[in-house]
Amino acid sequence: MIKIYVHNFFTVGLLKKLTHNSEGLEISRSMDITEVKCHFKSVDFHFVFDPKINFNTDGYHFIDYYGVESDFTRYKEYLEFTDEDNLDQSKVYKRLFNKIKDEKNWIILVIRTEKLLTKVDLPDLDFASKDEFYLSKMKNHYILNDGFFLGNTSNENYDNFYSVFTNTVFQWNEYCGINWYYDFGKIYSKLNFDYDIGYSVRRIKRNRKKLLQNLSELNNPKIFLSVTDYGGSELTNLEKYHKELNFENIHFNSITGNTDFFDISYVPNIRCPGIDVFLRILSKSKLQILDESWAHHQKNYIHQYLSEKTLGLLLAGIPFISTHNYPLDIIQKVLKVNDHPFYEESKRYAVDPKGFSEFVDNFLKNFGENFQLCLDWSLSTKKILLDYISSNNDFLQLFVDGKINLEKKLIKLL
């Protein structure tokens, strides 16, 4: 039996993230300690959830970064946080590192739902240095994360990093209820649409402004364009770009509304993406333009992740074309699916808003046939995805395969 001390408070979300698709689940509680037993592919596991750090030698030790960072005050006593630490995410890594720097083979789960390794792609990006500094010093430990190395990467600085895709999906489910996309997919398949292609922007970044502008200039009534004031400073960005964008062709998804009744900024909503995305965006168009979080920076990446933007469309089976090839590369790497029918166009026009807009213009000229190609791929990929996340557990599989053990470190990148 494999024993794992989980130095986090027990929550159902963390339980699901760690033990999904296991069998024979047994749970017992005593004070602040919760013990869970289960088996996965004939391997027995014994989890001991205890937020108090110990250095027992009869099992592995595990810490979920998200569990600490999202419930910071509960961990102050155990990780010796100060009130100021709560204002700096890198301090979570620092406190963890200080606790375990003299240990080895601890398992640190770091599903940030953001790009974890930025320095490897953007060495001059200053804001990432603190996080990655402490992660790079944890060479004695396993770093399980939601990012993927693309291409034939053999950087020895990251040979203790492993990707855990199924656990990442469960993290997104805890974070924003991503399984609602799956349910919406049943509705999507029965809708009549006003538009053929839709492109919605929540955060206006670099190429997104240019892409909005170029698509707007096509003046095609079959294209649905949308911007929103969802999230803090975005309204300022809209005002900033108002003169540059043709708002006659761009819909405004207002969270604050025109009157008090239509102000939904204070009513319960799905944290991200928000119920408004299902009712006001995805229901408008047959096909979506996927514009992932880092599609605007550069053409080639060494390490990247998938956000809810990609995972949601996949779970819903909604066809899309992508402004960058990296999300398609990750999908192919994990699920071993065929290339997206317009993969080459995504690669060719990455970080090229003008070129991508011309591609969309040509795509629409033969929309019926092109749409069917995308739909067939999306439905096929959805089935493969659902089969994968319903039968696998990438974290537990690392033990089954012997890639995590107490005698040696990881030597291979995933």
Domains of the chain: total: 2
Tens of pLDDT, residue by residue over 301-355, are: 999 999 999 999 999 999 999 999 999 999 999 999 999 999 999 999 999 999 9
Tens of pLDDT, residue by residue over 238-263, are: 666 666 677 778 888 887 888 888 88
Same domain, 376 and 268: yes
Q: What is the DSSP string of 290-343?
A: E--TTTTT-S--SEEE--HHHHHHHHHT--EEESSSHHHHHHHHHH-PPPPTTH
Residue 27 lies in a domain: yes
Residue 405 lies in a domain: no
- Mean of pLDDT over the chain: 88
Residue 128 lies in a domain: yes
Tens of pLDDT, residue by residue over 352-397, are: 999 999 999 999 999 999 999 999 999 999 999 999 999 999 999 9
- Give the CATH number for residue 286: 3.40.50
Residue 32: predicted pLDDT: 83
Same domain, 169 and 186: no
Same domain, 18 and 154: yes
Same domain, 384 and 279: yes
Same domain, 251 and 384: yes
Residue 13: predicted pLDDT: 94
How far is residue 10's CA from residue 51's CA, in Å, rounded to a whole number? 8
Same domain, 61 and 184: no
How far is residue 7's CA from residue 49's CA, in Å, rounded to a whole number? 6
Same domain, 314 and 202: yes
Residue 239: predicted pLDDT: 66
Percent of the chain, pLDDT > 70? Answer: 88
Under 8 Å between Cβ of 58 and 99: no
Q: Which of 174, 218, 126 has its CA nearest to residue 308?
A: 174
Global pTM reads: 0.92
Residue 218 lies in a domain: yes
Average pLDDT over residues 55-72: 90
Average pLDDT over residues 173-200: 94
Residue 225 lies in a domain: yes
Q: Which residues form the domain of 39?
A: 2-174+392-400
Instruction: Provide the greatest CA pair distance for the chain.
Output: 67
How far is residue 124's CA from residue 133's CA, in Å, rounded to a whole number? 14
Tokens 């599903």, located at residue: 111
Same domain, 139 and 238: no
Tokens 């590192």, located at residue: 97
Same domain, 124 and 32: yes
